[in-house]
Amino acid sequence: MPGMTKEQLDRFEHYGFVTAEQVIDPDGVIDPVMEEYAGVLDALADELYVDGKISSRYDDLEFGDRVTQIYEESDEVYNGYFDFSLPQGGIKEDTPFWAGPAVFDALTAPGLLDAVESFIGPEIYSNPVQHVRIKVPEDRAPRDEVGRVKFGVTPWHQDAGVVNPDADESDILTVWFPLMDADEENGCLQVVPGSHRSDLMTHCPGLKSSSPSGLQIPESEFEVGKAQAVPLKKGDVLFMTKFTVHSSLPNNSDRIRWSFDLRYNPIGQSTGRTSFPGFVARSRSHPDSELHDPVVWNEMWTAARDSLAKGEEPAFNRWDGSDPVCA
């Protein structure tokens, strides 16, 4: 793919986000990821069945229905088994994560990197602030002790607000795409156009809202009424600046919402989460520095997990909730 057009780049500059159709090959890139995760779910189902947490492995169900049934019956969310990152705290030597070859291929897909290059240039670093999100229908989702969905709506935030200050000067690009169609019913993202022109807003940890945890910007701090939903088809991509205010809608459908959110920045700039491993995804000047081996990538995450399990827990953001807007 030739990358982004001038019109798309101008829109990105003006609104702080832009979408592009069929950046990622649904058949060649996304389908292998979905197949790989089916194997992850097989292993999880086996483990939970042996432990007596579910009454069946539900092998006859397709992925979305199967993960929903397993989450509902076990009354727990197992996102860590699928995520190609680590949690922000409580990391142990056996903390689960998934850094498989199909996921690596998606992070380094040439068409995606061509688009990323249009925004940040040809020296591209894969920032480790990255996640897979599998959100089951809210009417079947596990809930916490006060009835809030455990892994539901992502609250309002800027991506610059969920990393450490060492990345304040970094040109971090957010790349969000669904593995299956995402719309307003099953919980696509919503963004606030033009919000990237603001400075970093105060983020509050654990506000008493529909989200039981996570950093979030109080709605009093921006024009929430300007929010715009961004539905995407499988293969489409949403690009955002690190200052663009965004959140997700609730999954009010009868199907899962399954998505990747990735970050990229120019090589040499801080990722804002230096305790996690990134890698050179593309370098026009030094192609020999690019990582092409998914086994090495997996080993990098395993080493990071082992180190964090033994060492002192680092800070993952700058917020302590003391700002008056968090009261």
- pLDDT tens for residues 18-66? 999 999 999 999 999 999 999 999 999 999 999 999 999 999 999 999 9
Q: What is the pLDDT of residue 207?
A: 63
74: nearest Cα among 91, 55, 59, 53: 53
The Cα–Cα gap between 258 and 50 comes to: 27
pLDDT in tens, 79-100: 999 999 999 999 999 999 999 9
Predicted pLDDT of residue 213: 57
Query: Where are the extended beta strands (E) located within 217-276?
Result: 228-230, 237-241, 246-248, 257-266
Predicted TM-score of the model (pTM): 0.97
- Distances in Å between the alpha carbon of 75 and those of 53, 166, 313? 9, 38, 28
Average pLDDT score, the chain? 96
pLDDT confidence tier of residue 211, bands split at 50, 70 and 90 = low
Highest mean pLDDT among 145-149, 179-183, 207-211, 309-313: 179-183
> Is residue 210 very low, low, confident or very high in pLDDT (cuts 50, 70, 90)?
very low
Mean pLDDT of 143-170: 95
Kindly indicate the confidence band of residue 208, based on its pLDDT and cuts at 50, 70 and 90. low
Reported as a pLDDT band with limits 50, 70 and 90, residue 131 is very high
Give CA separation, 114 vs 5, 82, 90, 291, in Å: 11, 26, 37, 16
The structural domains of the chain, ordered by start, are: 6-312 (2.60.120.620)
What the block records as the tokens of 145 is 């002790």
Strand 204-205 with 215-216, pairing: antiparallel
